[in-house]
Structure formats: C-alpha cells, structure tokens
Amino acid sequence: MILYDSLGPNPATVRLFIAETQHSFGIKVHPVDIMSLENRQEDYVNTVNSRGEVPALRLANGHIITEITAICEYLDEVSEKEGSLIGTTAEERAETRMWVRRVFLEICNPMTESLRNTEEFNAFYQGHRKLIEGISEPLKELALKGMERLNGELEGKTFIAGSRITLADILLFAFMGTLNQVIPWVLDTGFNNINKWYKSMEQRESAKYLNTAYLKDQIL
Ligand SMILES: N[C@@H](CCC(=O)N[C@@H](CS)C(=O)NCC(=O)O)C(=O)O
C-alpha cells in the first residue's frame, strides 16, 4: 500500500491512527508537497485524488481510498492486531462513530475552515476552495462552542468515548496538534478537561507522528 502524505491535520489523523493500531502494515509513505501545490497538478488529480487533497491510500490492487475516516476504518479492519480503535461490538462502533461525527462537525471542521478563511491563507486557497470574506471569526466561535460542550462531556472520562481510546481522540488530537502551529488559540481555550485530555494524548508514543519530518523514508 502507498500513503500519499503531507502537512496538515487530515494526513496527521491517518499517521497517528496507524501508530495507535501498533500494527506494521508495510505502507510506503509518498510525500506530497502541498505548499508547492503538487496536489492540485493534473498528475495527482488524475491518478490519485480527483479532489486534489491529501491523504490518499493506494491499496495493493491499485484501488485508491480517500477521506480520513474511511481510510482509518479500512486499516482498522485489515489490521491483524487484537482490538480495534473503532470498536469490537456493534454498540462500541456506533458510539465511536457518534463521537467522530460530533468532534468533526462541531470542532474540527469549523476550526479548519476558520483557518482557511483567514486573510493570511486566503491567497493560498484561492481557486481551490470556496472562501467567504468575514467568516473566519464566526467559524472560530462555532469551534469554541463545540469545544465548550465537549469540555463538559469529558468530565470524569479518560477518553472522548469513555475508557477506551478511539478514532475520535485521534481525530481531535491530530487537528489541534497541527492547527495550533498556525492558529494558536486552539490550545489556548482554557477548557480544563480538554487541556488535561490533550496533555495525556501528547504523552502517547503515537504523538511523534504529528511531525511530518519524522516520516522521511518511513514504512508504516
Ligand atoms: N475530506 C478530506 C479532507 C482532506 C483535506 O482537506 N486535506 C488537506 C490537508 S489537511 C489538503 O489536501 N489541503 C491541500 C489544499 O487544499 O491544497 C479527508 O477527509 O481526507
């Protein structure tokens, strides 16, 4: 398998997920330079991802899977390790997917779109994404509202779904851990339970996969 990998929260989610499975998939990492717009060139768009986005996973049979939750769920299913980061029963899987959806819709997506719609990033995304003037601040407010709610829901829990680590934790940690480099407010909200949870995620072995420099010549 080949993982088309790069900077940013979406690729980081997949790398961290792979690390947390503790399984060696033998995936070759293929770095894509999004800063030089390699992902928007004909070659990548025609042969890897028609949406011009990373990450993408090329399977051994040549088929390509995109969208981070689809990639993570696929890898979880083919992993030969005991356990699952989605769930081992129908109820656990439903619970994980519930939290993944909440975390993505209420926090990760508004956070990312807030960044994309800042003046600083406007030129970079122009022509590739739909940008709306003046929307960055309201989206930040939405993400903060989502974080406030999650902060309350984390009370007394180790992980977002309770006592087991799931894709929901990995997703939020990957987004906060990468986006804070450009919008530092994501780590500076003062939400005590989120702060405690973030610090515990930072201590995990998988956290080093936030760093793309670490991936040079990696087989995951
Ligand atoms: N819905 C996609 C989102 C992927 C995405 O937005 N990736 C970003 C990197 S974090 C990207 O490709 N950015 C490059 C660009 O917009 O030029 C997924 O779930 O994988």
Q: Which CATH number characterizes residue 30's domain? A: 3.40.30.10
What pLDDT digit, counting tens, does each position of 50-93 carry? 999 999 999 999 999 999 999 999 999 999 888 999 999 999 99
pLDDT of 80 reads 86
Q: Give me ligand 1 centre to Cα 34, in Å.
A: 10
Q: Is the pLDDT of residue 216 over 80?
A: no
Q: Is the pLDDT of residue 29 over 80?
A: yes
- Please tell me whether residues 13 and 64 are part of one structural domain: yes
Q: At what angle do helices 136-153 and 109-116 cross, to 10 degrees?
A: 160
**What residues line ligand 1, using a CB cutoff of 6 Å?**
8-10, 34, 39-40, 53-54, 66-68, 128
Q: Is the pLDDT of residue 121 over 80?
A: yes
pLDDT of 45 reads 97
pLDDT of 197 reads 98
pLDDT of 200 reads 98
- Nearest Cα neighbor of 102 from 157, 163, 169 is 169
Q: Give me ligand 1 centre to Cα 163, in Å.
A: 30
Q: Is the pLDDT of residue 143 over 90?
A: yes
Q: Which atom of ligand 1 is nearest to the CA of 39?
A: 17
Question: What percent of the chain has pLDDT above 90?
Answer: 92
Top-confidence residue, 110 or 119: 110
What CATH number corresponds to the domain at position 107? 1.20.1050.10
pLDDT-derived band at 37 (thresholds 50, 70, 90) equals very high
- Please tell me whether residues 76 and 110 are part of one structural domain: no
What count of other Cβ atoms lies within 10 Å of the Cβ of residue 109? 16
**Nearest residue (CA) to ligand 1, atom 5:** 53
Is residue 19 included in any domain, yes or no?
A: yes
pLDDT-derived band at 217 (thresholds 50, 70, 90) equals confident
- Please tell me whether residues 79 and 95 are part of one structural domain: no
Is residue 112 included in any domain, yes or no?
A: yes
Is residue 132 included in any domain, yes or no?
A: yes
**Sign, Cα dihedral of 67, 143, 169, 183:** positive
Average pLDDT across the chain, whole number: 96
- Please tell me whether residues 59 and 146 are part of one structural domain: no
pLDDT-derived band at 212 (thresholds 50, 70, 90) equals confident
* Torsions phi, psi for 219 (to 5 deg): -115, 120
Q: Is the pLDDT of residue 213 over 80?
A: no
* Average pLDDT of span 147-174: 98
- State the total domains in the chain: 2
What pLDDT digit, counting tens, does each position of 189-209 carry? 999 999 999 999 999 999 999
pLDDT of 110 reads 98
Q: Give me ligand 1 centre to Cα 11, in Å.
A: 8
From 41, 54, 116, mutation site for ligand 1 pocket: most ligand atoms within 8 A of C-beta? 54
* Average pLDDT of span 204-218: 87
Place of tokens 């780590």: 187
Range of the domain at 104: 90-205
Give exposure, 164-194, as e/b (b: 16+ Cβ within 10 Å): bbbbbbbbbbbbbbbbbeebeebeebebebb
- Please tell me whether residues 153 and 132 are part of one structural domain: yes
pLDDT of 6 reads 95
Q: Give me ligand 1 centre to Cα 108, in Å.
A: 12
Q: Which atom of ligand 1 is nearest to the CA of 129?
A: 16
